[in-house]
Amino acid sequence: MAGLIDHIFENIVIEQLSRSEIESYNKYILEIFYQNLTVEQRARLLQIQTRLKKRMLELDK
């Protein structure tokens, strides 16, 4: 699963995402976060989630 997660999140440009796309990615992250992931994988997801939240704040301006 780690390879799939990396593939998905390395190939998106967060700065170009719309509000609905960000919401979809956040939902996906929440769905997979508590699965059998390593600490490193969870940390990576949290970093991505932080970047998504920053983008959402940019859209609010």
Residue 7 has pLDDT above 90, yes or no: no
Residue 8 has pLDDT above 90, yes or no: no
pLDDT tens track for 23-60: 999 998 888 888 888 898 889 889 999 999 999 999 98
Whether 52 and 24 have beta carbons less than 8 Å apart is answered as: no
Q: What is the pTM of this model?
A: 0.81
